[in-house]
Amino acid sequence: MLKLHGTLPVLSSVTKESYLVTVTKSDKLPKVIRKQRALLRTSAGDESGYKAILTKEQRNNESWRESDIFKISEDQDYLDEGDIIRLDPNSGSFQCLYRKKSPHNTILLTEQCDHYCLMCSQPPKATDDSWLLKEAFELISLIPQDTERIGLSGGEPTLYRDKFIGLLHHIRRSLPNTGVDILSNGRAFKDKEFAKKYSSVNHPNMIIGIPIFSDDPVRHEYVVQSKGAFDDTIRGILNLKEFEQNVEIRVVIHKQTINRLVQTCEFIARNLLFADHVALMGLEITGFTRPNLETLWIDPFEYKDVLSEAVALLNGYGMTASIYNHQLCTINPDARGNYKKSISDWKTEYLEECVSCTKRSECGGFFSSSKKYQHSNHIKAFA
């Protein structure tokens, strides 16, 4: 797992506040744009005029007077040309927000949420973090236009209401060719006017992923820990589809949802056949899942037949369905057509057992958290 954030020793600083900056390895850039770049220093050269310099050497340098100097280590070896980072010269706080080579760049817009899901991977906080949205506006302006996709997640991004729609308009203008994947609980869209505003962004390649955890409203609301959630979310999806927006339905599979997984998929096929994609997702052992592990954990190997049945049903109805966050050796061969390597590259890990596996390159592997805390007891290399 990559360390995308941390604290770096500050060797010297000139800037007072934190800022976003694009990483470069080139010390030959025109002076006029050096103020917008952090130089990832590899050897001695003309290093003057850069906003920041990231160096593995301790020694200070005369030409570095105009720059903020941060000491980096092997942990940041992944940094590459075109990545976008946030640096705070006061505290040394560092975060990598965009990696040019990664297909999985997701922007966290808030940690606030009106759900409190049993298995939340990003436990909500009540504190005001609207600076994240402000930063997102800036980040979008820096992200290169050839980026294929970006993700927007939370927390619940729609809590920003119109400001969230404003961000989408900004994305549409700044990155017209970039696909957008949004994660939301969908409840805000029960308000038809809001759904209409969302559709007015008129983005040709935007999809919103919305969770439905059960066809039983009680169970869904128990999982998300919020009364009234089921009807709101379904109404939200209906409104979004009325305005012809792309909607993905996400079902996280765990001990509390597995017993009605097939019925839930049938509910989706009968009532929400117009959804563009259904993702059946394995559990990530992070955030709230860890304290709730006893309530949530079920070995994927134990439910593989149920998963096959659920997938066959969705396939039968002609829906596009994918299995996310599973390992190939824990699903039946008949479900492989729906299997996707889905775990973000920076979180992917494999086990000892996987070293000799012949299907490793087709397998999504594990969340680093799964490897650490809980994974299937039936991981077995394919011969």
Partner 1 sequence: MSKFNGIKFYKAPQSSSYTLLPLRFIPLDKDHYVLTNLAGEYLRIKRGVLVDFLRHKLSAEDPSYIELRARHFLIDETSSIAPDLLALKLRTKYSRLCEFTGLHLFVVTLRCEHSCPYCQVSRQSEDKPRYDMSPEIALGALDLTFRSPSSNIKIEFQGGEPLLNFDLIKLIVEEAKRRNQRVGKNLAFVIATNLALINDGILCFCREHSIHISTSLDGPRVLHNANRPRPGNNSYEKTIEGIKLVREALGRDQVSALMTTTEASLNCVEEIVDEYLAQGFNEIFLRPISPYGFAVKTNSYRAYNTERWLKFYKQGLNYIIDLNHHGIEFIEYYTSTILKKLLTSEDPGYVDLTSPAGIGIGAVAYNYDGYIYASDESRMLAEMGDTTFRLGKVLENSYEEIFSSPKLLEPLEASFAYSVPMCNDCAFEPYCGADPVYHHGIQGDFVGRKPTSEFCSRNMEIFRFLIHKMESDSFVRQLFTRWANSKC
Residues that bind partner 1 (CB under 8 A): 116, 118, 215-219, 221-222, 225, 227, 230-231, 234-235, 238, 260, 263, 267, 270-271, 273, 292, 309, 312-313, 316-318
Q: 138's torsion region: left (phi>0), alpha (psi -120 to 50) or beta?
A: alpha
**Which lies closer to partner 1 via its Cβ, residue 1 or residue 273?**
273
| Residue 315 to residues 272, 312, 362, Cα–Cα distance (Å) | 14, 5, 21
We find the least distance from the C-beta atom of residue 271 to partner 1, in angstroms, to be: 5
Nearest distance in Å: CB 223, partner 1: 9
CB of 183 to partner 1, least distance (A): 21
Tell me whether residue 214 or residue 368 sits nearer to partner 1 (CB atom): 214
Q: Are 317 and 332 spatial neighbours (Cβ–Cβ below 8 Å)?
A: no
In the complex with partner 1, which residue's Cβ is closer, 40 or 313? 313
User: Closest approach of Cβ 317 to partner 1, in Å?
Assistant: 5
CB of 179 to partner 1, least distance (A): 28
**Alpha carbon distance 315, 334 (integer Å):** 11
CB of 66 to partner 1, least distance (A): 49
Integer Cα distance of 301 and 288 in angstroms: 23
Residue closer to partner 1, measured from CB, 162 or 193: 193
Peptide bond into 154 cis (omega under 30): no
Q: Between 231 and 349, whose beta carbon lies closer to partner 1?
A: 231
By C-alpha distance, which of 7, 364, 235, 289 is closest to 122?
A: 289
Residue closer to partner 1 (CB basis): 6 or 217: 217
Which lies closer to partner 1 via its Cβ, residue 117 or residue 167?
Answer: 117
Task: Report the residue count for the chain.
Answer: 383
Phi, psi of 23 (to 5 degrees): -80, 135
Q: How far is the CB of 231 from partner 1 (least distance, A)?
A: 4
What are the backbone dihedrals phi and psi of residue 289, each rounded to the nearest 5 degrees, phi first? -60, -35
Of 221, 322, 245, 237, the C-alpha closest to 271 is: 237
What is the rounded CA–CA span in Å between residue 244 and residue 258? Answer: 30
Closest residue by Cα to residue 376 from 321, 331, 323: 331
